[in-house]
Amino acid sequence: MNITVLGTGLMGLPMGKRLQEAGFTVTAWNRTREKALRLASHGARVAHTATQAAREADVVITMLEHGDAVDAVLFGQDVASVLKPGALVIDMSSIKPAEARRHAQRLAESGVGHLDAPVSGGTVGAEAGTLAIMVGGELADFERALPVFAPLGRATHVGPHGAGQLAKLANQMIVGITIGAVSEALLLCAKGGADIAKVRDAIRGGFAESRVLELHGQRMVENDFAKRAALTVQLKDLRNALETATDLQFNAPVTQLFEALYTSAAEHGLAEMDHSALFRELARQNGMGL
């Protein structure tokens, strides 16, 4: 099976490596060619253009920044026009559900399958092959994609086109809101004079336990906000969730609150830090020099 990976950034690179190591023939393309060349040392082929990369592909994986980028690569750069009939596009980017449905419809007109399959687990999960993969699309396409998903993580079919992106929005709502809850709780304890490292240890294993408390809580304790998942990406996902909620005539007041908080964090210089840097924004709002 020939697999093309379009987008070899923080997530696409380790995913491409795992696919190559699993025995697939991988061709890579990235807008910044140097990023794709990092896969060459693992045996992947590197194409000069996205169209060249996709021409002989059985499966094309896109891992791009947002829906406009996916649209530009698939249709603006004519990738869709060179795909073989029966090829499958697996969009693992995090985009709007409505965008995923439009892409699926346009590809279907050319006899090309489509799955929206965003992921959760970050770079750690991408490197370890333990990503949670939320998949929308036809069940038959999902089943033929299972060998591709296997080296990357655990894939779950959640519904028709766009449903994978809905599930990812749900994931990002929960993650972003929980980061805020952990930040605020630990800052309250710090304000009152408690040792937040010990507070975190004390509440772990109870009903407050979560991966956010485990991983992001430790970053807050260590004041380590080097980017693993950018705050700007978290903000983009919350805004996509709110736009989708509006389309569905659904009221999401908690997400609205956190969209405003992450916006404020970005405006105060934290945009390119890890999304757990919301901790610093809440500290700033409380006059705490952490």
One-letter amino acid for residue 147 of the chain: P
Catalytic-labelled residue, pool 17, 168, 198, 227: 168
Q: Are 212 and 258 in contact (CB under 8 A)?
A: no
C-alpha 141/C-alpha 153 separation (Å) is: 17
C-alpha 281/C-alpha 276 separation (Å) is: 10
Phi, psi of 204 (to 5 degrees): -70, 140
C-alpha 221/C-alpha 82 separation (Å) is: 50
C-alpha 199/C-alpha 52 separation (Å) is: 54
CA-nearest of 100, 95, 170 to 136 is: 100
- Return the CA Rg of the chain: 20
For Cα atoms 249, 251, 257, give the angle at the middle one, nearest 5 degrees. 140
Return the DSSP state at 267: I
How is residue 7 written in tokens? Answer: 């987008």
- Tokens 């021409």, located at residue: 55
C-alpha 217/C-alpha 222 separation (Å) is: 9
Question: Is-catalytic flag, 227?
Answer: no
Quick one: 98 exposed, middle or buried, by C-beta within 10 A (0-12, 13-18, 19+)? middle
- Tokens 């399958």, located at residue: 113
For residue 224, list its beta bridge partners. Answer: none
CA-nearest of 252, 67, 267, 97 to 176 is: 252
- State the catalytic residues: 168
